A and B are shown apart, each in its own frame.
Chain A
Protein backbone atom coordinates (compact mmCIF):
# COMPACT_ATOMS: atom_id res chain seq x y z
CA UNK A 1 0.00 0.00 0.00
CA UNK A 2 1.62 3.23 -1.09
CA UNK A 3 1.23 5.95 1.48
CA UNK A 4 2.00 9.50 0.40
CA UNK A 5 1.89 9.14 -3.36
CA UNK A 6 -1.41 7.24 -3.37
CA UNK A 7 -3.39 10.20 -2.10
CA UNK A 8 -1.84 12.96 -4.19
CA UNK A 9 -4.43 14.22 -6.67
CA UNK A 10 -3.56 13.96 -10.36
CA UNK A 11 -4.45 16.83 -12.70
CA UNK A 12 -7.58 15.10 -14.12
CA UNK A 13 -8.72 14.40 -10.55
CA UNK A 14 -8.15 18.02 -9.56
CA UNK A 15 -10.09 19.25 -12.58
CA UNK A 16 -12.95 16.86 -11.80
CA UNK A 17 -13.24 18.23 -8.26
CA UNK A 18 -13.15 21.85 -9.48
CA UNK A 19 -15.76 21.19 -12.17
CA UNK A 20 -18.03 19.33 -9.76
CA UNK A 21 -17.83 22.16 -7.21
CA UNK A 22 -18.84 24.58 -9.96
CA UNK A 23 -21.83 22.36 -10.77
CA UNK A 24 -22.93 21.92 -7.14
CA UNK A 25 -22.73 25.69 -6.55
CA UNK A 26 -24.82 26.24 -9.69
CA UNK A 27 -27.45 23.76 -8.51
CA UNK A 28 -27.48 25.41 -5.05
CA UNK A 29 -27.84 28.84 -6.72
CA UNK A 30 -30.99 27.60 -8.45
CA UNK A 31 -32.17 26.25 -5.05
CA UNK A 32 -32.58 22.86 -6.72
CA UNK A 33 -30.37 20.98 -4.28
CA UNK A 34 -28.25 21.60 -1.19
CA UNK A 35 -25.99 19.23 0.68
CA UNK A 36 -26.91 20.46 4.16
CA UNK A 37 -30.12 18.67 5.19
CA UNK A 38 -30.78 21.52 7.61
CA UNK A 39 -30.79 24.21 4.92
CA UNK A 40 -33.23 22.34 2.68
CA UNK A 41 -36.42 23.14 4.66
CA UNK A 42 -35.63 26.86 4.35
CA UNK A 43 -35.41 26.78 0.55
CA UNK A 44 -39.19 26.53 0.14
CA UNK A 45 -39.74 30.09 1.33
CA UNK A 46 -36.84 31.28 -0.80
CA UNK A 47 -38.16 29.64 -3.96
CA UNK A 48 -41.63 31.04 -3.31
CA UNK A 49 -40.20 34.52 -2.79
CA UNK A 50 -41.11 34.83 0.89
CA UNK A 51 -37.47 34.96 1.90
CA UNK A 52 -34.56 36.86 0.34
CA UNK A 53 -31.32 35.52 -1.05
CA UNK A 54 -29.40 37.32 1.70
CA UNK A 55 -31.53 35.86 4.50
CA UNK A 56 -31.27 32.36 3.05
CA UNK A 57 -27.50 32.75 2.71
CA UNK A 58 -27.32 33.71 6.38
CA UNK A 59 -29.28 30.58 7.36
CA UNK A 60 -27.09 28.37 5.16
CA UNK A 61 -23.89 29.90 6.50
CA UNK A 62 -25.02 29.60 10.10
CA UNK A 63 -25.93 25.94 9.71
CA UNK A 64 -22.88 24.98 7.64
CA UNK A 65 -19.84 26.91 8.88
CA UNK A 66 -19.38 24.79 12.00
CA UNK A 67 -19.43 21.59 9.97
CA UNK A 68 -16.89 22.85 7.43
CA UNK A 69 -14.32 23.80 10.06
CA UNK A 70 -15.41 21.36 12.75
CA UNK A 71 -15.96 18.23 10.65
CA UNK A 72 -15.00 18.52 6.97
CA UNK A 73 -11.61 20.19 7.27
CA UNK A 74 -10.24 18.15 10.19
CA UNK A 75 -11.47 14.87 8.65
CA UNK A 76 -9.79 15.76 5.35
CA UNK A 77 -6.54 16.72 7.05
CA UNK A 78 -6.60 13.62 9.23
CA UNK A 79 -7.35 11.18 6.41
CA UNK A 80 -5.82 12.98 3.43
CA UNK A 81 -9.06 12.25 1.55
CA UNK A 82 -11.78 14.67 0.40
CA UNK A 83 -15.25 14.59 1.96
CA UNK A 84 -18.64 16.12 1.16
CA UNK A 85 -18.70 18.49 4.16
CA UNK A 86 -15.50 20.15 3.00
CA UNK A 87 -16.55 20.35 -0.66
CA UNK A 88 -20.30 20.78 -0.73
CA UNK A 89 -21.26 22.77 2.38
CA UNK A 90 -19.26 25.77 1.11
CA UNK A 91 -20.67 25.36 -2.41
CA UNK A 92 -24.19 25.40 -0.86
CA UNK A 93 -23.43 28.73 0.76
CA UNK A 94 -21.53 30.21 -2.22
CA UNK A 95 -24.22 29.14 -4.67
CA UNK A 96 -27.04 30.64 -2.61
CA UNK A 97 -24.93 33.75 -1.95
CA UNK A 98 -24.17 34.46 -5.62
CA UNK A 99 -26.55 37.14 -6.89
CA UNK A 100 -25.97 36.22 -10.55
CA UNK A 101 -26.39 32.89 -12.29
CA UNK A 102 -22.85 32.85 -13.71
CA UNK A 103 -21.20 33.82 -10.44
CA UNK A 104 -22.33 30.71 -8.52
CA UNK A 105 -20.32 28.18 -10.56
CA UNK A 106 -17.34 30.54 -10.62
CA UNK A 107 -17.27 30.81 -6.81
CA UNK A 108 -17.82 27.05 -6.52
CA UNK A 109 -14.91 26.31 -8.86
CA UNK A 110 -12.77 28.72 -6.85
CA UNK A 111 -13.55 26.84 -3.64
CA UNK A 112 -12.85 23.50 -5.34
CA UNK A 113 -9.42 24.79 -6.39
CA UNK A 114 -8.64 26.06 -2.89
CA UNK A 115 -9.49 22.66 -1.39
CA UNK A 116 -7.59 20.64 -3.99
CA UNK A 117 -4.39 22.66 -3.72
CA UNK A 118 -4.66 23.21 0.00
CA UNK A 119 -5.20 19.55 0.81
CA UNK A 120 -2.45 18.47 -1.61
CA UNK A 121 0.02 20.80 0.07
CA UNK A 122 -1.06 19.80 3.57
CA UNK A 123 -0.74 16.09 2.72
CA UNK A 124 2.75 16.51 1.33
CA UNK A 125 3.82 18.52 4.35
CA UNK A 126 2.32 16.01 6.80
CA UNK A 127 4.10 13.04 5.24
CA UNK A 128 7.44 14.86 5.32
CA UNK A 129 7.25 15.49 9.05
CA UNK A 130 9.32 13.26 11.35
CA UNK A 131 6.17 12.35 13.30
CA UNK A 132 3.74 11.39 10.52
CA UNK A 133 0.15 11.55 11.75
CA UNK A 134 -1.37 10.61 8.38
CA UNK A 135 0.29 7.21 8.50
CA UNK A 136 -0.61 6.83 12.17
CA UNK A 137 -4.28 7.45 11.21
CA UNK A 138 -4.30 4.09 9.42
CA UNK A 139 -5.02 2.69 12.88
CA UNK A 140 -8.57 3.99 12.46
CA UNK A 141 -9.87 1.41 10.04
CA UNK A 142 -10.07 -1.62 12.35
CA UNK A 143 -12.18 0.00 15.09
CA UNK A 144 -14.34 1.72 12.48
CA UNK A 145 -15.12 -1.47 10.58
CA UNK A 146 -15.70 -3.69 13.57
CA UNK A 147 -17.74 -1.27 15.67
CA UNK A 148 -19.77 -0.17 12.65
CA UNK A 149 -20.78 -3.83 12.24
CA UNK A 150 -22.79 -3.50 15.46
CA UNK A 151 -24.93 -0.50 14.55
CA UNK A 152 -28.07 -2.53 13.70
CA UNK A 153 -27.94 -4.06 17.21
CA UNK A 154 -27.98 -0.61 18.80
CA UNK A 155 -30.83 0.55 16.58
CA UNK A 156 -32.95 -2.56 17.27
CA UNK A 157 -32.32 -2.28 21.03
CA UNK A 158 -33.41 1.35 21.09
CA UNK A 159 -36.47 0.87 18.94
CA UNK A 160 -37.66 -2.63 19.86
CA UNK A 161 -36.26 -3.22 23.33
CA UNK A 162 -33.43 -5.16 24.88
CA UNK A 163 -34.68 -8.69 24.10
CA UNK A 164 -34.81 -8.28 20.37
CA UNK A 165 -31.61 -6.27 20.60
CA UNK A 166 -29.90 -9.15 22.38
CA UNK A 167 -31.11 -11.63 19.76
CA UNK A 168 -29.78 -9.50 16.90
CA UNK A 169 -26.54 -9.04 18.85
CA UNK A 170 -26.05 -12.79 19.26
CA UNK A 171 -26.94 -13.45 15.61
CA UNK A 172 -24.49 -10.79 14.41
CA UNK A 173 -21.68 -12.04 16.64
CA UNK A 174 -22.23 -15.60 15.43
CA UNK A 175 -22.16 -14.43 11.82
CA UNK A 176 -18.91 -12.50 12.36
CA UNK A 177 -17.26 -15.59 13.85
CA UNK A 178 -18.69 -17.83 11.12
CA UNK A 179 -17.66 -15.50 8.30
CA UNK A 180 -14.08 -15.20 9.47
CA UNK A 181 -13.91 -19.00 9.75
CA UNK A 182 -15.56 -19.88 6.42
CA UNK A 183 -14.54 -16.99 4.15
CA UNK A 184 -11.25 -15.61 5.44
CA UNK A 185 -10.91 -13.25 2.47
CA UNK A 186 -14.17 -11.41 3.18
CA UNK A 187 -14.68 -8.62 5.71
CA UNK A 188 -16.04 -10.56 8.74
CA UNK A 189 -18.80 -8.03 9.44
CA UNK A 190 -20.23 -8.03 5.90
CA UNK A 191 -22.87 -10.70 6.40
CA UNK A 192 -23.64 -9.66 9.99
CA UNK A 193 -24.41 -6.07 8.94
CA UNK A 194 -26.66 -7.21 6.10
CA UNK A 195 -28.64 -9.53 8.36
CA UNK A 196 -28.80 -6.93 11.15
CA UNK A 197 -30.22 -4.25 8.86
CA UNK A 198 -32.71 -6.70 7.33
CA UNK A 199 -33.92 -7.68 10.82
CA UNK A 200 -34.35 -4.02 11.81
CA UNK A 201 -36.34 -3.25 8.68
CA UNK A 202 -38.31 -6.47 9.11
CA UNK A 203 -39.29 -5.57 12.70
CA UNK A 204 -40.32 -2.07 11.61
CA UNK A 205 -42.43 -3.17 8.64
CA UNK A 206 -44.07 -5.90 10.73
CA UNK A 207 -44.97 -3.32 13.39
CA UNK A 208 -46.52 -0.98 10.83
CA UNK A 209 -48.46 -3.78 9.13
CA UNK A 210 -49.87 -4.90 12.50
CA UNK A 211 -50.79 -1.36 13.41
CA UNK A 212 -52.66 -0.87 10.15
CA UNK A 213 -55.07 -3.61 11.22
CA UNK A 214 -56.09 -1.79 14.39
CA UNK A 215 -56.05 1.81 13.22
CA UNK A 216 -57.68 3.64 10.35
CA UNK A 217 -55.57 5.06 7.55
CA UNK A 218 -52.71 7.02 9.15
CA UNK A 219 -53.27 10.75 9.30
CA UNK A 220 -50.02 11.65 7.55
CA UNK A 221 -50.85 9.88 4.29
CA UNK A 222 -54.49 10.87 4.24
CA UNK A 223 -53.87 14.51 4.95
CA UNK A 224 -54.34 16.85 2.01
CA UNK A 225 -51.93 19.78 2.66
CA UNK A 226 -49.01 17.41 3.19
CA UNK A 227 -49.83 15.50 0.01
CA UNK A 228 -50.11 18.65 -2.07
CA UNK A 229 -46.89 20.07 -0.60
CA UNK A 230 -45.11 16.83 -1.44
CA UNK A 231 -46.45 16.53 -4.97
CA UNK A 232 -45.45 20.13 -5.73
CA UNK A 233 -41.95 19.39 -4.52
CA UNK A 234 -41.68 16.19 -6.53
CA UNK A 235 -42.96 17.93 -9.66
CA UNK A 236 -40.39 20.74 -9.33
CA UNK A 237 -37.56 18.21 -9.06
CA UNK A 238 -38.81 16.12 -12.01
CA UNK A 239 -38.78 19.21 -14.23
CA UNK A 240 -35.00 19.43 -13.80
CA UNK A 241 -34.25 15.76 -14.30
CA UNK A 242 -31.39 16.25 -16.84
CA UNK A 243 -29.52 18.57 -14.46
CA UNK A 244 -29.91 16.04 -11.64
CA UNK A 245 -28.60 13.26 -13.89
CA UNK A 246 -25.53 15.40 -14.61
CA UNK A 247 -25.12 15.99 -10.87
CA UNK A 248 -25.43 12.26 -10.16
CA UNK A 249 -22.82 11.49 -12.77
CA UNK A 250 -20.46 14.01 -11.16
CA UNK A 251 -20.94 12.66 -7.62
CA UNK A 252 -20.43 9.07 -8.75
CA UNK A 253 -17.29 9.97 -10.73
CA UNK A 254 -15.90 11.78 -7.67
CA UNK A 255 -16.47 8.66 -5.55
CA UNK A 256 -14.82 6.54 -8.25
CA UNK A 257 -11.61 8.62 -8.08
CA UNK A 258 -10.76 6.99 -4.71
CA UNK A 259 -9.79 10.34 -3.22
CA UNK A 260 -13.18 10.98 -1.61
CA UNK A 261 -15.06 9.39 1.29
CA UNK A 262 -18.80 10.08 1.63
CA UNK A 263 -19.55 9.03 5.21
CA UNK A 264 -18.08 10.26 8.50
CA UNK A 265 -15.68 7.34 8.79
CA UNK A 266 -15.38 6.26 5.17
CA UNK A 267 -12.48 8.62 4.45
CA UNK A 268 -10.20 6.52 6.64
CA UNK A 269 -11.17 3.33 4.78
CA UNK A 270 -10.64 4.98 1.38
CA UNK A 271 -7.27 6.29 2.55
CA UNK A 272 -6.29 2.71 3.34
CA UNK A 273 -7.58 1.38 0.01
CA UNK A 274 -10.44 -0.66 1.52
CA UNK A 275 -12.98 0.23 -1.18
CA UNK A 276 -15.31 -2.78 -0.84
CA UNK A 277 -15.57 -2.18 2.91
CA UNK A 278 -16.11 1.56 2.35
CA UNK A 279 -18.91 0.72 -0.08
CA UNK A 280 -20.65 -1.47 2.49
CA UNK A 281 -20.40 1.14 5.23
CA UNK A 282 -21.80 3.92 3.04
CA UNK A 283 -24.49 1.67 1.60
CA UNK A 284 -25.92 0.89 5.03
CA UNK A 285 -25.42 4.48 6.15
CA UNK A 286 -27.72 5.50 3.29
CA UNK A 287 -30.64 3.69 4.97
CA UNK A 288 -30.38 6.20 7.78
CA UNK A 289 -30.64 9.11 5.38
CA UNK A 290 -33.16 8.11 2.70
CA UNK A 291 -36.29 9.07 4.70
CA UNK A 292 -34.71 12.31 5.95
CA UNK A 293 -33.58 13.37 2.49
CA UNK A 294 -36.84 12.26 0.88
CA UNK A 295 -39.10 14.16 3.28
CA UNK A 296 -37.01 17.34 3.34
CA UNK A 297 -36.73 17.21 -0.48
CA UNK A 298 -40.46 16.67 -0.99
CA UNK A 299 -41.37 19.36 1.53
CA UNK A 300 -39.02 21.96 0.05
CA UNK A 301 -38.72 21.10 -3.65
CA UNK A 302 -34.93 20.96 -3.32
CA UNK A 303 -32.95 17.74 -3.47
CA UNK A 304 -29.72 16.57 -1.80
CA UNK A 305 -26.45 17.30 -3.60
CA UNK A 306 -25.49 13.65 -3.17
CA UNK A 307 -29.09 12.43 -3.58
CA UNK A 308 -29.82 9.51 -1.28
CA UNK A 309 -26.01 9.10 -1.02
CA UNK A 310 -26.31 5.75 -2.83
CA UNK A 311 -24.07 7.16 -5.56
CA UNK A 312 -21.11 6.99 -3.15
CA UNK A 313 -20.90 3.21 -2.68
CA UNK A 314 -21.65 2.61 -6.34
CA UNK A 315 -18.82 4.97 -7.25
CA UNK A 316 -16.30 3.25 -4.98
CA UNK A 317 -16.99 -0.04 -6.76
CA UNK A 318 -16.98 1.21 -10.36
CA UNK A 319 -13.95 0.18 -12.48
CA UNK A 320 -13.62 3.48 -14.39
CA UNK A 321 -14.99 7.06 -14.40
CA UNK A 322 -17.02 6.57 -17.58
CA UNK A 323 -19.06 3.72 -16.12
CA UNK A 324 -19.36 5.67 -12.87
CA UNK A 325 -20.81 8.64 -14.77
CA UNK A 326 -23.41 6.45 -16.47
CA UNK A 327 -24.30 4.68 -13.22
CA UNK A 328 -24.51 7.95 -11.27
CA UNK A 329 -26.80 9.56 -13.83
CA UNK A 330 -29.03 6.47 -13.80
CA UNK A 331 -29.18 6.36 -9.99
CA UNK A 332 -30.17 10.02 -9.72
CA UNK A 333 -32.80 9.62 -12.44
CA UNK A 334 -34.38 6.70 -10.60
CA UNK A 335 -34.20 8.53 -7.26
CA UNK A 336 -35.83 11.74 -8.52
CA UNK A 337 -38.55 9.86 -10.40
CA UNK A 338 -39.27 7.60 -7.42
CA UNK A 339 -39.29 10.43 -4.87
CA UNK A 340 -43.06 10.93 -4.86
CA UNK A 341 -43.79 7.24 -4.33
CA UNK A 342 -41.08 6.96 -1.68
CA UNK A 343 -42.75 9.83 0.18
CA UNK A 344 -46.14 8.10 -0.01
CA UNK A 345 -44.72 4.80 1.25
CA UNK A 346 -42.86 6.51 4.11
CA UNK A 347 -46.02 8.34 5.16
CA UNK A 348 -47.66 4.94 5.60
CA UNK A 349 -44.70 3.39 7.46
CA UNK A 350 -43.96 5.53 10.54
CA UNK A 351 -41.94 2.73 12.16
CA UNK A 352 -39.63 2.56 9.15
CA UNK A 353 -39.07 6.32 9.41
CA UNK A 354 -38.40 5.80 13.08
CA UNK A 355 -35.94 3.00 12.28
CA UNK A 356 -34.06 5.29 9.98
CA UNK A 357 -33.63 7.84 12.76
CA UNK A 358 -32.53 5.12 15.17
CA UNK A 359 -30.10 3.91 12.50
CA UNK A 360 -28.61 7.35 12.17
CA UNK A 361 -28.26 7.70 15.92
CA UNK A 362 -26.75 4.19 16.18
CA UNK A 363 -24.26 4.87 13.39
CA UNK A 364 -23.29 8.08 15.15
CA UNK A 365 -22.72 6.25 18.45
CA UNK A 366 -20.79 3.34 16.94
CA UNK A 367 -18.63 5.58 14.77
CA UNK A 368 -18.13 8.07 17.59
CA UNK A 369 -16.60 5.38 19.79
CA UNK A 370 -14.63 3.89 16.88
CA UNK A 371 -13.18 7.24 15.85
CA UNK A 372 -12.29 8.11 19.44
CA UNK A 373 -10.63 4.74 20.01
CA UNK A 374 -8.90 4.77 16.61
CA UNK A 375 -7.61 8.28 17.25
CA UNK A 376 -6.16 7.23 20.59
CA UNK A 377 -4.50 4.25 18.88
CA UNK A 378 -3.08 6.64 16.29
CA UNK A 379 -1.90 8.91 19.10
CA UNK A 380 -0.28 5.91 20.73
CA UNK A 381 1.41 4.91 17.46
CA UNK A 382 2.79 8.44 17.11
CA UNK A 383 3.91 9.20 20.60
CA UNK A 384 3.14 6.39 23.06
CA UNK A 385 1.82 7.53 26.43
CA UNK A 386 2.65 11.15 25.69
CA UNK A 387 0.61 10.93 22.48
CA UNK A 388 -2.38 9.56 24.38
CA UNK A 389 -2.01 12.28 27.00
CA UNK A 390 -1.97 15.08 24.43
CA UNK A 391 -4.70 13.76 22.12
CA UNK A 392 -6.98 12.42 24.84
CA UNK A 393 -6.51 15.65 26.73
CA UNK A 394 -7.43 17.79 23.75
CA UNK A 395 -10.55 15.68 23.16
CA UNK A 396 -11.65 16.15 26.77
CA UNK A 397 -10.89 19.85 26.57
CA UNK A 398 -13.20 20.16 23.54
CA UNK A 399 -15.95 18.46 25.56
CA UNK A 400 -15.38 20.80 28.51
CA UNK A 401 -15.56 23.84 26.25
CA UNK A 402 -19.00 22.86 24.92
CA UNK A 403 -17.78 21.13 21.73
CA UNK A 404 -16.64 23.86 19.33
CA UNK A 405 -15.45 20.95 17.16
CA UNK A 406 -18.20 18.44 16.28
CA UNK A 407 -17.82 15.38 18.53
CA UNK A 408 -17.19 13.03 15.61
CA UNK A 409 -14.23 15.12 14.39
CA UNK A 410 -12.86 16.11 17.80
CA UNK A 411 -10.54 13.13 18.25
CA UNK A 412 -9.01 13.26 14.72
CA UNK A 413 -8.51 17.01 15.19
CA UNK A 414 -6.75 16.22 18.47
CA UNK A 415 -4.48 13.79 16.59
CA UNK A 416 -3.54 16.50 14.06
CA UNK A 417 -2.83 19.07 16.78
CA UNK A 418 -1.05 16.42 18.82
CA UNK A 419 1.01 15.45 15.77
CA UNK A 420 2.09 19.05 15.21
CA UNK A 421 2.97 19.37 18.89
CA UNK A 422 5.03 16.16 18.88
CA UNK A 423 6.92 17.45 15.82
CA UNK A 424 7.69 20.68 17.68
CA UNK A 425 8.92 18.66 20.64
CA UNK A 426 11.06 16.60 18.25
CA UNK A 427 12.70 19.75 16.87
CA UNK A 428 13.33 20.94 20.41
CA UNK A 429 14.96 17.55 21.01
CA UNK A 430 12.41 16.74 23.71
CA UNK A 431 10.77 13.79 21.97
CA UNK A 432 11.97 10.81 19.91
CA UNK A 433 9.46 9.38 17.40
CA UNK A 434 8.60 5.79 18.28
CA UNK A 435 8.55 4.14 14.90
CA UNK A 436 8.94 5.88 11.58
CA UNK A 437 6.53 4.14 9.26
CA UNK A 438 7.09 5.86 5.96
CA UNK A 439 5.55 5.31 2.57
Chain B
Protein backbone atom coordinates (compact mmCIF):
# COMPACT_ATOMS: atom_id res chain seq x y z
CA UNK B 1 0.00 0.00 0.00
CA UNK B 2 1.52 3.31 -1.11
CA UNK B 3 0.71 6.18 1.24
CA UNK B 4 0.20 9.49 -0.58
CA UNK B 5 0.00 12.79 1.29
CA UNK B 6 -1.35 15.99 -0.21
CA UNK B 7 -0.47 19.56 0.70
CA UNK B 8 -0.48 23.12 -0.54
CA UNK B 9 -3.35 25.29 -1.69
CA UNK B 10 -5.40 22.54 -3.36
CA UNK B 11 -4.70 19.71 -0.91
CA UNK B 12 -8.36 18.78 -0.35
CA UNK B 13 -9.24 18.86 -4.04
CA UNK B 14 -6.20 16.79 -5.00
CA UNK B 15 -6.92 14.19 -2.30
CA UNK B 16 -10.50 13.92 -3.48
CA UNK B 17 -9.48 13.67 -7.14
CA UNK B 18 -7.15 10.80 -6.25
CA UNK B 19 -9.76 9.09 -4.06
CA UNK B 20 -12.35 9.32 -6.85
CA UNK B 21 -10.06 7.25 -9.07
CA UNK B 22 -10.55 4.33 -6.69
CA UNK B 23 -7.04 3.04 -7.36
CA UNK B 24 -5.72 -0.19 -5.86
CA UNK B 25 -2.74 -0.03 -3.56
CA UNK B 26 -3.01 3.69 -2.93
CA UNK B 27 -4.09 5.45 0.24
CA UNK B 28 -4.38 9.24 0.21
CA UNK B 29 -4.43 11.61 3.19
CA UNK B 30 -4.71 15.40 3.38
CA UNK B 31 -1.62 16.78 5.10
CA UNK B 32 0.63 19.84 4.81
CA UNK B 33 4.24 20.48 3.84
CA UNK B 34 5.72 20.55 7.37
CA UNK B 35 3.95 17.42 8.62
CA UNK B 36 4.44 15.60 5.34
CA UNK B 37 8.17 16.31 5.31
CA UNK B 38 8.56 14.56 8.66
CA UNK B 39 6.28 11.65 7.77
CA UNK B 40 8.13 11.00 4.52
CA UNK B 41 11.51 11.31 6.19
CA UNK B 42 10.53 8.79 8.86
CA UNK B 43 9.12 6.43 6.24
CA UNK B 44 5.58 6.75 7.58
CA UNK B 45 4.38 7.91 4.14
CA UNK B 46 5.64 7.32 0.63
CA UNK B 47 4.64 10.14 -1.69
CA UNK B 48 3.63 13.79 -1.52
CA UNK B 49 1.55 15.77 -3.99
CA UNK B 50 1.66 19.54 -3.50
CA UNK B 51 -0.19 22.29 -5.32
CA UNK B 52 0.07 26.08 -5.48
CA UNK B 53 0.03 28.80 -8.07
CA UNK B 54 3.59 28.27 -9.29
CA UNK B 55 3.72 24.53 -8.72
CA UNK B 56 6.75 24.77 -6.50
CA UNK B 57 6.41 27.36 -3.70
CA UNK B 58 3.70 26.25 -1.30
CA UNK B 59 3.71 22.93 -3.17
CA UNK B 60 7.20 21.92 -2.20
CA UNK B 61 7.69 24.32 0.73
CA UNK B 62 10.06 22.86 3.27
CA UNK B 63 10.18 19.44 1.56
CA UNK B 64 13.14 20.31 -0.67
CA UNK B 65 15.04 21.50 2.38
CA UNK B 66 14.35 18.42 4.48
CA UNK B 67 14.30 15.61 1.92
CA UNK B 68 16.77 17.07 -0.57
CA UNK B 69 16.28 18.13 -4.13
CA UNK B 70 16.87 14.62 -5.60
CA UNK B 71 13.60 13.41 -4.04
CA UNK B 72 11.58 16.37 -5.30
CA UNK B 73 10.23 17.36 -8.68
CA UNK B 74 8.10 20.25 -9.89
CA UNK B 75 6.02 20.14 -13.03
CA UNK B 76 5.58 23.90 -12.73
CA UNK B 77 2.57 24.85 -14.79
CA UNK B 78 3.15 22.04 -17.25
CA UNK B 79 1.37 18.71 -17.66
CA UNK B 80 3.71 15.73 -18.06
CA UNK B 81 3.10 12.55 -20.03
CA UNK B 82 2.50 9.23 -18.26
CA UNK B 83 5.92 8.03 -19.39
CA UNK B 84 7.64 11.05 -17.88
CA UNK B 85 5.93 10.43 -14.54
CA UNK B 86 6.94 6.78 -14.62
CA UNK B 87 10.55 7.73 -15.35
CA UNK B 88 10.55 10.21 -12.46
CA UNK B 89 9.18 7.58 -10.07
CA UNK B 90 11.81 5.13 -11.27
CA UNK B 91 14.43 7.79 -10.57
CA UNK B 92 13.27 7.86 -6.96
CA UNK B 93 11.24 11.08 -6.94
CA UNK B 94 8.70 11.03 -4.12
CA UNK B 95 7.61 14.66 -3.86
CA UNK B 96 5.74 16.27 -6.72
CA UNK B 97 4.65 19.88 -7.06
CA UNK B 98 2.30 21.23 -9.71
CA UNK B 99 0.13 24.24 -10.45
CA UNK B 100 -3.34 24.47 -8.97
CA UNK B 101 -4.96 25.23 -12.32
CA UNK B 102 -3.42 22.08 -13.82
CA UNK B 103 -4.18 19.84 -10.83
CA UNK B 104 -7.16 18.07 -12.48
CA UNK B 105 -4.82 16.81 -15.18
CA UNK B 106 -1.64 16.13 -13.19
CA UNK B 107 -2.93 14.59 -9.94
CA UNK B 108 -4.65 11.53 -11.52
CA UNK B 109 -1.64 10.99 -13.78
CA UNK B 110 0.78 10.79 -10.88
CA UNK B 111 -1.60 8.77 -8.70
CA UNK B 112 -2.13 6.18 -11.45
CA UNK B 113 1.62 5.82 -11.98
CA UNK B 114 2.12 5.36 -8.23
CA UNK B 115 -0.64 2.75 -8.13
CA UNK B 116 0.99 0.81 -10.99
CA UNK B 117 4.31 0.81 -9.12
CA UNK B 118 2.68 -0.19 -5.86
CA UNK B 119 1.20 -3.36 -7.33
Interface residues in chain A, defined as those with a beta carbon under 8 Å from any beta carbon in chain B: 36-42, 44-45, 50-51, 59, 62-63, 66-67, 158, 219-220, 223, 225-226, 229, 292, 295-296, 298-300, 347, 350, 353-354, 357, 360-361, 364, 402-403, 406-407
Contacts and interface: CB of A to CB of B under 8 A. Distances in A.
B56 A42 contact: yes
Contacts of B53: 360, 364
Interface string B90-110: 000000010011100100000
A347 B34 contact: yes
B54 interface: yes
B74 A226 contact: no
B10 A41 contact: no
Interface stretch (B15-23, B62-70, B81-89): B62-70
A41 B76 contact: no
Interface of B: 8-12, 32-35, 37-38, 41, 52-66, 68-69, 72, 74, 76-77, 79, 97, 100-102, 105
A347 B37 CA distance: 13
Given A62-B76, A220-B34, A347-B34, A229 B8 contact: no
Contacts of B9: 357, 360-361, 364
B69 A226 contact: no
A42 B76 contact: no
A229 B102 CA distance: 31
A45 B64 contact: yes
B60 A41 contact: yes
B32 A225 contact: no
Nearest to B58: A292
A345 to B, nearest CB: 13
Main secondary structure, interface of A, reads helix
Contact of B62 (A50, A63, A299): A299
Contacts of B61: 41, 292, 295-296, 299
A354 B30 CA distance: 11
A59 B74 CA distance: 9
Contacts of B97: 38
B101 A40 contact: no
A41 B52 contact: no
A38 B54 contact: yes
B69 A42 contact: yes
B32 A350 contact: yes
A223 B39 CA distance: 11
Given A63-B74, A295-B33, A229 B65 contact: yes
A353 B79 CA distance: 28
Contact of A350 (B11, B35, B57): B35
Contacts of A36: 54, 57
Contact of B65 (A59, A300, A403, A407): A300
Contact of B58 (A347, A350, A357, A407): A357
